[in-house]
Amino acid sequence: MKHNYHSRKVRQLDRLVKEMKQAMTARQPKAFVDRIRQKIALLIKDLRGILSARQLAHKLGALAIVFGFANGANAQQFATPVENPFGFVVDSTSYIGGFGVADLDGDGDYDLLMGGYYGAIQYVENTGTASSPAFGPTQTNPFGLSSTYYYAFITTADLDDDGDIDVLVGEYYGDLVYFENTGTATNPSFAAAQANPFGLNSNSSILDMPSFVDLDDDGDFDIISGSIAYGVGPSIVYYENTGTAQNPAFAAQVTSPFGIAANAAYFQNPTVADIDGDGDYDVLTAENYGTFAFYKNTGTAQNPAFAAPQVNPFGLIDNVSDFIFPEFVDIDDDGDFDVLGSGYYGSLWFFENTQFNVGIDELANNVAIGPNPFTSEVNFTADVDLDLVEVYDMMGKLIYSEVSPDGNVNLESLNKGVYMIQVVDTDGNVSRKKLEKL
C-alpha cells in the first residue's frame, strides 16, 4: 500500500513539474506559478528518503535549481570565521557600530560604511576586485556624511530610485537619520542629514538598527530593524513603505512583525537575504556574545511568515565577539551569500559561505551572457541548448524566470541596479554572471 502511495506522489510530481514549466513559458501570473511551486515543495518533502537527492533533481530537470538541488541553496555551510580579512585594519577608536555594504563608487565591488567612534561614519573602500577584495584605509565622514549621535547603525539602498546609493543611520535615542545621495552612482555626495524623514517614527526607541528590504514584494524598500525601546525592551520592528519606489512613505512601526517573536537579546541588527533560495527573504540576527538566530520565511514573498529562530545554523560559529552585527553579502563574488560581521571595538569578521566552488563569472560550455551593462534585452549564446534562465536581485531573491529562452530575454521592466543572471543548460550545467541594468 505504501508503495502505491509513493508511486502516486511521484506521478503527481512529474505532472506538476510539467505544469510549472508550461506556466513559466506562458508567462502566467506569479501567484499562479507560486501555487504550483508550493505544491511541488510539499511533494519533495514527502519524497525525501524515498528518492535520492540525485533522483529528485533529475525529475525536476531545470527546475532543480529553484528547489535548491542544483545550487545547494538549502544546504548553506559557513567556514570557520576569519578576523579582519582582506587587509581590513581596525580603527582603534571604534566601540560598537553596525555597518552597511554597497558598491558606493560604482566600480563593481563592495565597499563598507561602518559606524565608528561617537557616531562617525567610516568609509572603507574596496581597492581590490569583486572576487578578490582588498580594503583600504578608513575615511571618516567622507562625501559630505556627518556623525550621528553616539552610535551609527547603517543600512544602504537606492531609496529614491534615482540610480545611486542613499544611507540611513540608526542613532542613540532612536532617531533614524537619512542622507540622500545627490551625487551619482560613481561619485557620491550626500545632502545634510534629515532626522526621521518620510513619516518615520521610532516610538521613543533608545536605538534602532535598520535594514532596507522589500519585505512585501511591492517594489519599494521597507525597513526591518532591531529596536530597544523604553518599557518594551529589545525587539524586531517593521516599517512598511506605503509610498512608492521614488517617493517613500513609511507606516507606523509594527513590533514583532510576521511572527518574529521578541527576545531578551540587545543589539539585534537584522540582515536579510533569500538564503535558502525559495523566493522569499529570510532574516539573520546576532545576539549577545555573537550567537546567531536565523528566522526562515515559511510564508511567501508577498506575505512573509517567520518560523521560530534556529540558533547558529549552517555551521555559523558564535562567541567570536561579545557582539556581532552581521550582513549578508557575496563579498567574494562566488555566487552565494557570505556573512560579514562588525564586532566589539571595530573588528571585522568573515564567515565564508562554501556553498559554491566557482566564481560567479565562470561560465559553463562557453555560455556568453550580455551585454553588460544592459538596458532592455539580455542575450545568450552557448554550445548547448538552454533550459532555464533566472534573474536574482542582490539579496538573492528570484525576480524573473523563463523556461527554454529563445536566445534572449527582455528585462526592460527591471529597476536600475545590479542583478545576477543564472542559466541552466539541458545537461544541468549552471552559469552565472552579474550584469548592471541602466
In the prediction, which pLDDT does 70 show?
47
In the prediction, which pLDDT does 377 show?
93
In the prediction, which pLDDT does 1 show?
40
Domain with CATH 2.60.40.1220 in the chain: 367-437
In the prediction, which pLDDT does 75 show?
54
What's the whole-number mean pLDDT along residues 94-123?
90
Q: What is the pTM of this model?
A: 0.76
Per-residue pLDDT of 224-251, as tens digits, reads: 999 888 777 788 999 999 999 999 999 9
Distance, in Å, from the CA atom of 171 to the CA atom of 310, rounded to the nearest integer, reads 29
> Cell 545611486 identifies what position?
164
Architecture of domain 367-437: Sandwich (2.60)
In the prediction, which pLDDT does 140 show?
95
pLDDT band at 54 (very low <50, low <70, confident <90, very high): low
pLDDT at 103 over 90: yes
What's the whole-number mean pLDDT along residues 96-116?
90
The residue that leads in pLDDT, 287 or 222, is 222
Per-residue pLDDT of 138-161, as tens digits, reads: 999 999 999 999 999 999 999 999
pLDDT band at 2 (very low <50, low <70, confident <90, very high): very low
Contact criterion met (CB below 8 Å) for 277 and 71: yes
Distance, in Å, from the CA atom of 47 to the CA atom of 38, rounded to the nearest integer, reads 14
CA 132 and chain centroid, separation: 20
What's the whole-number mean pLDDT along residues 353-361?
52
Share the mean pLDDT of the chain. 85
Percentage of the chain beyond pLDDT 70 is: 90
CA distances from 33 to 19, 36, 136, 299, 365 (A): 9, 5, 46, 15, 29
In the prediction, which pLDDT does 105 show?
93
In the prediction, which pLDDT does 344 show?
82
In the prediction, which pLDDT does 153 show?
94
The residue that leads in pLDDT, 240 or 67, is 240
Contact criterion met (CB below 8 Å) for 373 and 435: yes
pLDDT band at 327 (very low <50, low <70, confident <90, very high): very high
Distance, in Å, from the CA atom of 193 to the CA atom of 148, rounded to the nearest integer, reads 9
Per-residue pLDDT of 23-47, as tens digits, reads: 877 777 877 887 888 788 878 877 8
Contact criterion met (CB below 8 Å) for 372 and 359: no
Return the number of other C-beta atoms located less than 10 Å from residue 132's C-beta: 12
Class of the CATH-defined domain 82-351: mainly beta
Domain with CATH 2.120.10.10 in the chain: 82-351
Spell out the SS3 assignment of the chain: CHHHHHHHHHHHHHHHHHHHHHHHHCCCCHHHHHHHHHHHHHHHHHHECCECHHHHHHHHHHHHHHHCCCCCCCCCCECCCEECCCCCCCCCCCCCCCEEEECCCCCCCCEEEEECHHHCEEEEEECCCCCCCCEEEEEECCCCCCCCCCCCEEEEECCCCCCCCEEEEECECCCEEEECECCCCCCCCECCCEECCCCCCCCCEEEEEEEEECCCCCCCCEEEEEEEECCCEEEEEEECECCCCCCCCECCCEECHHHCCCCCCCCCCCEEECCCCCCCCEEEEECHHHCEEEECECCCCCCCCECCCEECHHHCCCCCCCCEEEEEECCCCCCCCEEEEEEHHHCEEEECECCCCCCCCCCHHHCEEECCCECCEEEEECCCCEEEEEEECCCCCEEEEEECCCCEEECCCCCCEEEEEEEEECCCCEEEEEEEEC
pLDDT winner (highest mean) among 100-104, 189-193, 432-436? 189-193
Grid cell listed for 22? 508550461
What's the whole-number mean pLDDT along residues 7-25?
83
